[in-house]
Amino acid sequence: MKTRFVLINTSHAGNVGGAARALKVMGFDELVLVAPRWPNVLRKEETIQRASGATDVLARARVVDTLDEALDGITHLCATAMTPRDFGPPTQAPRQHFEALVAQPEPPAGVAFLFGSERFGMANEDVYRCHVALSIPTAPGFGSLNLAAAVQLIAYEWRQALGGFEVPPGATQRPAADVPAVAGMLSHWEQALVALGFLDPAAPKKLMPRLNQMFNRAAPTEEEIHILRGVAKAMIQAAEKAKR
C-alpha cells in the first residue's frame, strides 16, 4: 500500500533528518515537505547528521509549496493532532484506526500521514480535509511529543498493522555441559572448598548436593564449566599460598 509521510511547515532541520531515520527503520521511504522553513533543508548538515544513514530517504524526498502538491495518488488522509477539534474528522488512536483500515475489503490505494509544524501543530483547515485525526495516547496532562518521535510512533504502528517485521534471532544458545563434566567440576570445587576451610569433609552435610542442584538448574555450558574449574584452581592455589 502506498504510504507517504508529509511534514507541513517544519522549522527544525534536525526533525527532518530524524523523520527520515524513523521512516527507514520501519521500511518506508516516501517523505514530502510542504513549505519548510529552510528550502534547502534536505541538504543541511544537521538534517544529514540526524538522518543517521537514511540518506536514501532524504534523496527521494520532495519539497513542495502547497499541501495539494503533496497528495497526488493519495486516497486516505490521516491528520495528527494532540487534542481533538470541535469540528472535523473523528479522533482515534493510531492502532485502533489502522486495524480497521487494513481490515476493509478494499483498503485505500494510498495513505498519507500529515504532521504540522513544531510550534503550532496542524492548521484546522488541513485537519478538516482529513479522514481521521490520529491522537497518540500519552500521559494525561503532558502530550508534547517531538516531531520526529511522533513520526516514529506512527510509522511503527502502521508497519505493525501491515504485518510488521520479524525480530531477528538472538545468539545461538550453546548446549549445556553433560553430567560427567558437571560432576568433575563439582569434585574440583569440593577440593577447593575444603582447602579454604569452608567445607568440613568430616561433616559435609548437604552442601555438595545443594551445589549440584544449583548447577543443574543453571545448566552451564562447557565453556562455563572451564571457567568454574579455573575459579576452583585459583581458590586452591590461594589456600596453599596462605598456609606457606
* pTM (two decimals): 0.74
Closest CA to 30 of 141, 110, 126, 139: 110
Q: What is the pLDDT of residues 90-121, one digit of tens each?
A: 999 999 999 999 999 998 999 999 999 988 88
Decide if pLDDT at 161 tops 90: yes
Structure confidence at residue 84 as a pLDDT band (50, 70, 90): low
State which H helix or E strand residue 32 sits in.
Answer: strand 31-34
> Are 59 and 34 in contact, with CB atoms under 8 Å apart?
no
Which residues does 187 contact at the CB level (< 8 Å), separation at least 6?
Answer: none
Average pLDDT over residues 64-87: 87
Answer yes or no: is pLDDT of 199 > 70: yes
Q: Does residue 86 surpass a pLDDT of 80?
A: no
pLDDT at residue number 142: 84
Closest CA to 102 of 161, 30, 182, 167: 161
Query: Using one digit for the tens of pLDDT, what is the confidence trace for 205-232?
Result: 899 999 999 999 999 999 999 999 999 9
3-class secondary-structure state, position 31? strand
Confidence of residue 83 (pLDDT cuts 50, 70, 90): low
Arithmetic mean of pLDDT over the chain = 92
Express each pLDDT in 172-190 by its tens digit. 778 999 999 999 999 999 9
What is the reported pLDDT for 82?
A: 67
For residue 121, the 8-state DSSP code is: B
pLDDT value for 96: 94
User: Strands 31-34, 2-8: parallel, antiparallel or unpaired by DSSP?
Assistant: parallel
